[in-house]
Structures are given as structure tokens and as C-alpha cells.
Amino acid sequence: MKLQFEPIQPSSDSSFTLLHHTDPAAIDVRWHYHPEYELVYLPRGRGRRHIGRHLSRYAGGELVFIGPDLPHLSFSYGRQTDFEQIVVQLRPDFLGPDFLQRPELRAVQQLFARARQGLTFGVAVRRQVGPQLAQMLTQPPFERLLTLLQVLHTLAATPDATSLNADAGRGHAPRQESERLSRVYGYLQEHFRQPVEVATLAELTHLTVPAFCRYFKRMTGLTLTDFVQEYRVNHACLLLLEDRPITEVSFASGFNNLSHFNKTFRKLTGLSPSEYRQQQAALAE
């Protein structure tokens, strides 16, 4: 699946974009990125979460805040029925270039900084914020803006937020570097099952091999080898939720040796593949 840039335009009567989807077939499912922040709320259901290098499943609904230029897959992926999502897309300067510099918004500024790695919020926060996001769908522009500010304040104040790419990146990367990393993510998303050559990625990003290795470690906190192994194991975790033989999961995740797969999986998760499958089955009951 090729990484694509998604252009976003706010509504004519608003400084941000508000979307409401109930038909998954109407959403363009793709691996994409954009310079806007994106708040996504799904009141119910389960599905696949793929944000940056993070892959997992969600159940019982979802609330995530995705930073700019962070590649992600549409949340309609794999959903057939009982689908609803509310999406808010906005730039950090949607209320002016100094908006986040106001002293009253210091916590919101920190929220925006943390969202660059992708954030998911707990059930209690989702239950508090969800009705407010739904209310925005019928509000006139001014009241809608006030509600959005209240939502951002709530998200900034809660400790119940988890980073989806906790060790990825440090601070705000220049736009050129973010776009470069997006190209790397796109290549790995498409080719992670195959041997990944650092020279290929260096050429893709117009860097020498040593420069690419330094750049990648600085941007992700991981070496390329560790990143690819973690990506493959995350993908295997998704496949283990299905009724597939573990050998098939191993090969479908880019491991050509079952023993190496088992060893790497345990190293990164603390469980064997079969133990992980049993654990997830118990949690789903």
C-alpha cells in the first residue's frame, strides 16, 4: 500500500474541518499523511489501529489524536458494519500563529507536542469527550469552536493518555525531515516482509548510508534493524488474533525462520506467540 499525501481544506465557515462518517465503504482506505492534526472518535466497535510504526487492535471504540505528517491507515480498514466516526482536522495555528503561545493554553500546547507521536485515550475520557464531539455536528460555528476548545482542554488535562510511538522522534522535526521519514515508513509498510537493505532506504531519502543510519536513529530512537523487527512483531500480533497457524504467521510477518521468530517475539513482548494468542483470547471474552 503506497503512502499518499492527503490535502485537507477547512469548511468555508470554519477554521478547522469536522467530518462525520457512518459508511466505511465511502471512506478512501489508504496509508496516508497530512500536515494537520487529526482527532478521531469511534463510539463503538473494534478494528485495526495503524499509526506510524504502531500496529494493534482496538475494541469498544477509540479516541486518538494524531500529529502532523504521522502516517496512518484509515480507521474504516477492515470494518464492514456498525461503523461511525467523527473526525476533527486542524492545524496548530488554526486560530492564529500565536494561538498556542497564550499562557492559558500551555497544557494544550503540550498536548499538541505529545500528539506528534500519536495518542490514544482511555474509556473514561472517551465517554466524556465523545458526546461533546457528537454535539459539534449540530452546533453553529461559534458554539462548535467553543466545544472544540473544551475538548482540547479535557484531553490536555487527563493523565489517561498513551503514546502510540513512545520512543519515536524527539520534539518537532522540520517539515523536510518529516516528509523524508514518511517515505521511509511507506517503503517499510510495503516491503517489511522482504529483506530490508539500508542502502535502498538511504537512496530513497537522498542520504549516504552512514548519514541515513544517524538520521533514522535520531528520528525513531531505534536502529533500522530493531525498527524492522518491532514492525514485524507488531504485524504478527495482528495476525495472531486470527485463526492462522503460527508458522504461517511467522512467514507472513517477514520471518523466514520459525525459531528466530519465536525468539524475537518473546524478546519484544515477553510472551511466546502461542502465549500471546491465549492472552488475547482471554481478554476478548
Q: Are 64 and 106 part of one and the same domain?
A: yes
Instruction: Tell me if 237 is assigned to some domain.
Output: yes
Same domain, 18 and 147: yes
Domain assignment present for residue 267? The answer is yes
Q: Which of 122, 142, 163 is the last residue of a domain?
A: 163
* Integer Cα distance of 44 and 36 in angstroms: 25
Question: pLDDT class for 19, splitting at 50, 70, 90?
Answer: very high
**The domain boundary residue, chosen from 113, 144, 163:** 163
SS in 3 state form for 186-254?
Answer: HHHHHHCCCCCCHHHHHHHCCCCHHHHHHHHHHHHCCCHHHHHHHHHHHHHHHHCCCCCCHHHHHHHCC
Beta-bridge partners for 51 = 54, 72
Tell me if 186 is assigned to some domain: no
Cell of 16: 478547522
pTM of the full predicted structure?
0.68
Task: Provide the angle, in degrees to the nearest 10, between the axes of the packed helices 209-220 and 224-239.
Answer: 50
Residue with cell 465517554: 127
User: Within a domain: residue 233?
Assistant: yes
CATH number of the domain encompassing residue 216: 1.10.10.60
Which tens digits make up the pLDDT trace of 153-170?
Answer: 999 999 999 998 765 544
CB 246 within 8 A of CB 282: no
Query: CATH number of the domain that 142 lies in?
Result: 2.60.120.280
**Mean of pLDDT values over 15-35:** 81
In a domain, 28, yes or no: yes
Of the pLDDT bands very low, low, confident and very high (cuts 50, 70, 90), residue 10 is confident
68 with 145, same domain: the answer is yes
Q: Are residues 199 and 154 in the same domain?
A: no
* Integer Cα distance of 149 and 206 in angstroms: 41
At residue 207 the predicted structure's pLDDT band, cuts being 50, 70 and 90, is very high
Assess whether 16 and 122 both reside in one domain.
yes
Same domain, 106 and 204: no
Q: Confirm whether 176 is domain-assigned.
A: no
- Is 178 within a domain? no
The answer, yes or no, to whether residue 252 has pLDDT greater than 60, is yes
Helix axes 141-157, 123-136, angle to 10 degrees: 170
Range of the domain at 270: 192-284
Using CA atoms, how far apart are residues 170 and 225, in angstroms rounded to an integer?
19
Out of 144, 163, 182, pick the residue that ends a domain: 163
Q: Which of 279, 233, 238 is nearest to 260 (CA)?
A: 233
Residue range 43-71, pLDDT digits in tens: 988 777 888 878 777 878 899 999 988 88
Residues 8 and 101 in one domain: yes
Question: Which carries the bigger pLDDT value, residue 63 or residue 35?
Answer: 63
248, 23 contact by CB (below 8 A): no
- Helical residues (DSSP H) of the chain, grouped into ranges: 106-115, 123-136, 141-157, 175-191, 198-204, 209-220, 224-239, 246-252, 258-269, 273-284
**Are residue 125 and residue 201 in the same domain, yes or no?**
no
| Dihedral over alpha carbons 279, 241, 165, 114 (to 10 degrees) | -80
Q: Considering only CA atoms, give the Rg of the chain.
A: 20
Give the count of domains, the chain. Answer: 2
Asked if 22 and 125 sit in the same domain, the reply is: yes
Task: Compute the distance between CA of residue 77 and CA of residue 85 in angstroms, rounded to an integer.
Answer: 12
Is position 173 within any domain? no
**Do 153 and 62 fall within a single domain?**
yes
- Are 17 and 83 in the same domain? yes
Q: Are residues 208 and 95 in the same domain?
A: no
